Amino acid sequence: MDTRPYRLQWPTSTIIFDISPEIVFQFAAEKLKDAGAKMPKGCTLCHIPLESSDMEQAMQFKGYSGSRPSIWVLQGFPVMTLANFEEVLSMISSLAMKGSLFWGELPSCLAETDTEIKSHARSNIRQRVDKLFMSKGFRVEVINYEGIAESYGKDFASGHNNSILFAAEQLLHSDDQMESWRREFQRIENEGDEDGFEEL
């Protein structure tokens, strides 16, 4: 379980959704409770079981709104195939408000073993990742591990790098935003019809 919800100073009223296996969350939650870990005042942590049959519905049931800015972090998620990751991208694209951020690690094994990517030289991985994210409405930047290590004055051990670090921004409107605008347009249209009827 990620301890950042407890360690970082989040803005008041922040809601953090932890998507992880139920058994893992319960075990970690007990350990953190025993250690005296507490959420920042005014913030809420909601667990969404990875086993949920409908992840989007589960999040919305616990208060998630696609009409509010959000930050998504993907780390340690069991993404085994490119198709799995595309499903994750599609879900986030539907849920995340335009301008929301998505950071994480994409297992490099996908880029090395998936037949769609394997036929391309490794130097083209950045372009392939960009195409993948753009197909779901995200502008993405592949982050250089060496640059991060250098910024902290550390040496980077390339042999231990087994993932692609990325930072992406949602360019599309969420389903909630689109639905809000659809209702507003419908209201305006109905008011226009009523005004026209009164004039007649």
Query: What's the rounded Cα separation, in Å, for the pair 73 and 20?
Result: 12
Helix, strand, coil abundance in the chain, percent, nearest 5: 50, 20, 35
Query: What's the rounded Cα separation, in Å, for the pair 103 and 115?
Result: 25
pLDDT of residue 149: 76
pLDDT in tens, 9-41: 999 999 999 999 999 999 999 999 999 999 999
Residue 70: Cβ within 10 Å count: 19
Percentage of the residues of the chain whose pLDDT score is greater than 70: 85
pLDDT exceeds 50 at position 121: no
Query: What's the rounded Cα separation, in Å, for the pair 110 and 142?
Result: 15
Contact 11, 41 (CB under 8 A): no
pLDDT exceeds 80 at position 107: no
pLDDT exceeds 60 at position 115: no
pLDDT of residue 114: 46
Contact partners, residue 117, CB within 8 Å, separation at least 6 = 82, 110, 111, 125, 128
pLDDT of residue 83: 87
What order of strands is seen across the sheet that includes strand 71-74? 71-74, 101-107, 163-170, 138-143
pLDDT of residue 148: 78
pLDDT in tens, 131-190: 999 999 999 998 887 777 778 888 776 655 678 889 999 999 999 999 999 999 998 888
**Domains in the chain, please, with CATH?**
4-174 (3.40.50.150)
Q: Classify residue 17 by its DSSP letter.
A: E
